[in-house]
A and B are shown apart, each in its own frame.
Chain A
Amino acid sequence: DGGITQSPKYLFRKEGQNVTLSCEQNLNHDAMYWYRQDPGQGLRLIYYSQIVNDFQKGDIAEGYSVSREKKESFPLTVTSAQKNPTAFYLCASREVVGNTQYFGPGTRLTVL
């Protein structure tokens, strides 16, 4: 069953702690993306990666970090430097041929 998985679905952390969100895909897609969505708002791009071992900052990269050591995986770390980390985080990947992005189910992060 192909797709994009994100874990966990809900995550609670104390203020000042770093937290890593998982994103895995078995679609053989080269490109992967992280977006953030705040209540009632659209998606904002955090980071993206077009290929293994390479990634670029999106519009709101400050306070976040990523790695892309494997094609299937693109974890996102929300650091203590991110001032308002509570949000819904969405991972996506893009097919090799074509331009369609497919999304995972999301992780809702709440920082207490």
Chain B
Amino acid sequence: DAKTTQPPSMDCAEGRAANLPCNHSTISGNEYVYWYRQIHSQGPQYIIHGLKNNETNEMASLIITEDRKSSTLILPHATLRDTAVYYCIVRGPAAGNKLTFGGGTRVLVKP
């Protein structure tokens, strides 16, 4: 699985959009970008994933650059309950086993 780089922490104002960057410059053509988050003392929660096209669901949007070397997770209207550690993971379709969580970005949503 390709290595990812994320900022260690960021703050966001409640009600504003939170833009979380992730660099994955060594990503292969068949590897997907996954985002999970982990709220304190809970299990990781799947947010969204994509291959090359931008994706949107009820939780967030995922923007992947054209060269696929980086991506941005967008939480459109951050709430206090979005405070969590957000993990960007790159993995191929055949990598059916372990998920490798890096350091992630600790997001603090402030009122």
Contact = CB atoms under 8 A, between A and B. Distances in A.
Query: Does chain A bind chain B?
Result: yes
Interface of A: 4, 6, 31, 33, 35, 42-43, 45, 48, 50, 58-59, 88, 90, 92, 94, 99-106, 108
Contacts of A50: 96
Interface of B: 32, 34, 41-46, 49, 91, 93, 95-103
Contacts, number: 51
Q: Is the interface of A mostly helix, strand, loop or mixed?
A: strand
B98 A105 contact: no
Contact of B32 (A6, A99, A105): A99
A103 B98 contact: no
Contacts of B41: 88, 106, 108
A90 B38 CA distance: 12
Contact of B96 (A6, A31, A35, A90): A31
B46 A33 contact: no
Contact of B93 (A6, A35, A45, A99): A99
Q: Which of B45, B93, B98, B100 has the most CB of A within 10 A?
A: B98
B3 to A, nearest CB: 13
A90 to B, nearest CB: 5
A103 B49 CA distance: 16
B32 A59 contact: no
A42 B44 contact: no
Listed residue (A42, A50, A105, A108) with the most chain B CB atoms within 10 angstroms of its CB = A42
B93 A103 contact: no
B100 A42 contact: yes
Contacts of B34: 100
Nearest to A45: B98
B44 A90 contact: yes
B46 A100 contact: yes
Contacts of A108: 41
Given A43-B99, A99-B96, 20 more contacts: A6-B43, A33-B97, A35-B98, A42-B100, A42-B101, A42-B103, A43-B44, A43-B101, A48-B97, A50-B96, A58-B98, A59-B98, A92-B43, A99-B95, A100-B46, A101-B46, A101-B99, A105-B42, A106-B41, A108-B41
